[in-house]
C-alpha cells in the first residue's frame, strides 16, 4: 500500500483531533504537518491532548505548503479560513479534503474552476458520516413522491454556521427531485420573525443549537393523512472518520472537485 502524506488544518478542534486519531490508526497515512493558529513552531506531540506525532505545526499556511511534501490537506476549521486554505492548497498542488461547512455557492464555484484549471482533485463533503449520506440520498428519493418537506437539524451550540452544511445539501438534493413549490399557507405570516425557519426553494429549514447535542437531522415529509420521517444521529465524531479516510483515498485519483461523499460511494 503506498503512503499518503497528509496535513491537517484545525488539529485542536473537535473534528481535527478526531482526524489525527484516525491518521494514527491508518498506517498508509503519514501526518507531515498541522496548520493551527496557535502553537506554531511546536511539534504536534508537544500539544496537550494531541497524539504523539513528530509533525511540525505552522500558523503560516504558505510556509507550511512550501516546506512540507504533502499529497492531501484535510481542512476542519472555519468557513472563512477553510476556504482560504483550500484555495492555497490547490495553488501549491496539494489535494484538499474539506469537511469545513459554510462555504457560499460562489466560493464552491470558484474552487470548482480552480480545481479544473489545476487538474487536481478536491473533495468537499458537508457530512462524512455514511448514515447521513444515505439519509440525504433517501430524502431525494422520497421527495419524488412527497414534495412537501421540512428539515430540522440539531447541533451542539459551538457550531458557527446555520443552517448546517448537511441541511443545505439535503435541500439541494431534494430540489433536484421535485418541482419548485411554495409550502404552507400562501397567506401565512410570521408574528415572530424567523418562526418558520430558513427557506430554500420553498423548503423550510429549522436549526436547533443546544449543549449536549452533536449532529442530528430529521427530514419530515408530509402528505394526505401521513408523514414520513428520515432521521440520522451522530453520537460521536468517530462517525465521520471512515468518510474522511475514504475521501483521502479517492481524492488522489481525482482531477476535479467533488461535492458530497455520495459521489465516491460504489
Ligand X SMILES: O=C(O)C1=N[C@H](C(=O)O)C[C@H](O)C1
Residues that bind ligand NDP (CB under 6 A): 9-10, 12-16, 35-38, 76-78, 81, 99-102, 125-128, 158, 161, 240
Helix 79-91 crosses helix 105-118 at what angle (to 10 degrees)? 10
Distance, in Å, from the CA atom of 225 to the CA atom of 184, rounded to the nearest integer, reads 16
Distance, in Å, from the CA atom of 40 to the CA atom of 157, rounded to the nearest integer, reads 28
Judged by CB, which is closer to ligand NDP: 125, or 251?
125
Distance, in Å, from the CA atom of 109 to the CA atom of 123, rounded to the nearest integer, reads 13
Does 100 interact with ligand X (rule: CB under 6 A)?
A: no
Minimal distance, residue 220 CB to ligand X, in Å: 17
Minimal distance, residue 241 CB to ligand NDP, in Å: 9
Q: Which does 155 bind (CB under 5 to 8 A by kind): ligand NDP, ligand X, none?
A: ligand X
Cell numbers 455520495 label which residue?
262
Let me know if 159 is a catalytic residue.
yes
Query: Which residue in the shown chain puts its C-beta closest to ligand NDP?
Result: 13
User: In the Cβ-directed half-sphere of 63, how many Cα atoms lie within 13 Å?
Assistant: 10
What does the per-residue mask of binding to ligand X show for 153-172, with x meaning CB under 6 A?
--x---x----xxx------
Distance, in Å, from the CA atom of 84 to the CA atom of 254, rounded to the nearest integer, reads 21
Residue 49 among known ligand-binding residues: no
Binders of ligand X among 115-154, rule CB under 6 A? 126-127
C-alpha cell at 96: 484538499
Does 264 interact with ligand X (rule: CB under 6 A)?
A: no
Judged by CB, which is closer to ligand NDP: 123, or 146?
123
What does the per-residue mask of binding to ligand X show for 176-215, with x meaning CB under 6 A?
---------------------------------------x
Helices (H) and strands (E) in the chain, counts: 7, 12
Residue in 203, 217, 227 with CA at minimum distance from that of residue 145: 227
Cβ atoms of 201 and 175 within 8 Å: the answer is: yes
Residue 166 among known ligand-binding residues: yes
Q: Which of 85, 155, 206, 216 is catalytic?
A: 155
Residue in 145, 167, 169 with CA at minimum distance from that of residue 221: 145
Task: Output Rg (C-alpha) for the chain, integer angstroms.
Answer: 19
Residue 246's H or E segment, with its range, is: helix 241-251
Residue 109 among known ligand-binding residues: no
Does 77 interact with ligand X (rule: CB under 6 A)?
A: no
Let me know if 250 is a catalytic residue.
no
Number of chain residues interacting with ligand X (CB under 6 A): 9
Q: Could you tell me which residues are beta bridge partners of residue 227? A: 222
Residues that bind ligand X (CB under 6 A): 101, 126-127, 155, 159, 164-166, 215
Give the annotated binding-site residues. Answer: 10-15, 43, 99-101, 125-128, 156, 165-166
User: Annotated binding site for NADP(+), which residues?
Assistant: 43
Amino acid at each position: 500500500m503506498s503512503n499518503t502524506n497528509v496535513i491537517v488544518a484545525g488539529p485542536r478542534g473537535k473534528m481535527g483531533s478526531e482526524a489525527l486519531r484516525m491518521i494514527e490508526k491508518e498506517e498508509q497515512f503519514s501526518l507531515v504537518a498541522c496548520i493551527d493558529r496557535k502553537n506554531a513552531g511546536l511539534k504536534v506531540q508537544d500539544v496537550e491532548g494531541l497524539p504523539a506525532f513528530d509533525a511540525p505545526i505552522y500558523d503560516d499556511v504558505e510556509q507550511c505548503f512550501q516546506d512540507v511534501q504533502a499529497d492531501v490537506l484535510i481542512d476542519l476549521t472555519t468557513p472563512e479560513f477553510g476556504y482560504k486554505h483550500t484555495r492555497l492548497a490547490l495553488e501549491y498542488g496539494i489535494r484538499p479534503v474539506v469537511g469545513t461547512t459554510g462555504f457560499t455557492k460562489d466560493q464552491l464555484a470558484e474552487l470548482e474552476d480552480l480545481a479544473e484549471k489545476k487538474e487536481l482533485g478536491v473533495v468537499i463533503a458537508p457530512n462524512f458520516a455514511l448514515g447521513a449520506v444515505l439519509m440525504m440520498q433517501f430524502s431525494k428519493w422520497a421527495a419524488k413522491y412527497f414534495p412537501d418537506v421540512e428539515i430540522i437539524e440539531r447541533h451542539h451550540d459551538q457550531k458557527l454556521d446555520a443552517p448546517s452544511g448537511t441541511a443545505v445539501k439535503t435541500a439541494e438534493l431534494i430540489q433536484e427531485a421535485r418541482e419548485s413549490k411554495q409550502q404552507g399557507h400562501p397567506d401565512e405570516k410570521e408574528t415572530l420573525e424567523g418562526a418558520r425557519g430558513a427557506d430554500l426553494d420553498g423548503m423550510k429549514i429549522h436549526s436547533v443549537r443546544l449543549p449536549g447535542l452533536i449532529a442530528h437531522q430529521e427530514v419530515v415529509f408530509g402528505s394526505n393523512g401521513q408523514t414520513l420521517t428520515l432521521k440520522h444521529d451522530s453520537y460521536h465524531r468517530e462517525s465521520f472518520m471512515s468518510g474522511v479516510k475514504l475521501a483521502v483515498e479517492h481524492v488522489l485519483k481525482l482531477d476535479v472537485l467533488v461535492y458530497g461523499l455520495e459521489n465516491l460511494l460504489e
